[in-house]
Amino acid sequence: MSSSVKIAVCPGSYDPVTNGHLDIIRRAAKIFDKLVVGVVGNAPRKAGHLFTPEERVGLIEEALQQNGVSNVEVQIFRTLLVEFARDCGATAIVKGLRAISDFEYEFEMNQLNRQLADDIESVFILASPGYSFIRSSGVKEIAAFGGDVSELVPPHVASALSERAQRD
Ligand code: PNS
């Protein structure tokens, strides 16, 4: 692949992917030639994760197929983010910002990542107004109590959450 091809990674836990994530992914995919969604790998259930990394990848891939986004692929990574970005040939890390409360954390992550690799730029996309309140943890909590998450996640993710809530 030629070096003029602009590749970015869009990392996260995606436990599970929400409509807010998909908004950022779709918009980032229009800016870059190729976008690699990086799902941070972890031991199942570690750090309170509901879905395994493989399950999270499957949920994202199904959502992308439904949206007809073609220049996006999804990978699990178990390294530093900047190493993952390098492995992908990416020159940018894309993050979504929902509110001021996200800024402090993302500012710190940006400084750390720049310390590790100052040739990889972090690019921040502001959440669309309708998605600025959606976070995976909130979605999981609503679903665990049997609440309606149909406006917050794609239908297949809502089904996976409901199935998981009934199982646990
Ligand atoms: O969706 P999240 O949980 O906010 O995503 C966090 C993520 C995966 C982007 C972050 O934890 C990460 O980059 N992990 C990889 C390890 C790393 O490189 N950390 C940053 C430098 S200390």
All structural domains of the chain with their residue ranges = 7-130
Rounded average pLDDT over 13-31? 97
Rounded average pLDDT over 16-35? 97
Strand order in the sheet with 34-40: 72-77, 34-40, 7-12, 92-97, 121-126
Counting from 1 in the atom list of ligand 1, the atom nearest the Cα of 136 is 1
Q: Which helix (H) or strand (E) holds 84?
A: helix 81-88
Rounded average pLDDT over 134-160? 96
Q: What is the pLDDT of residue 44?
A: 52
| Cβ-count burial 126-160 (b if 16+ within 10 Å, e if not) | ebeeebbebbbeebbebbeeeeebeebbbeebbeb
* 7-130 CATH pick, 3.40.50.300, 3.40.640.10, 1.10.490.10, 3.40.50.620: 3.40.50.620
Give the confidence band of 111 by pLDDT, cuts at 50, 70, 90: very high
- State pTM to two decimals: 0.94
- Ligand 1 is surrounded, with C-beta below 6 A, by 11-13, 40, 80-81, 109, 112-113
Tell me: pLDDT of 1 over 70: no
Closest residue by CA, ligand 1 atom 14: 81
pLDDT for 58-75, tens place per residue? Answer: 999 999 999 888 899 999
Mean pLDDT of the chain: 93
Closest residue by CA, ligand 1 atom 1: 12
Cα→Cα distances 107→92, 97, 112, 122, 126, Å: 15, 11, 9, 10, 14
In percent, how much of the chain has pLDDT > 70? 95
Neighbours of 6 (CB within 10 A): 14
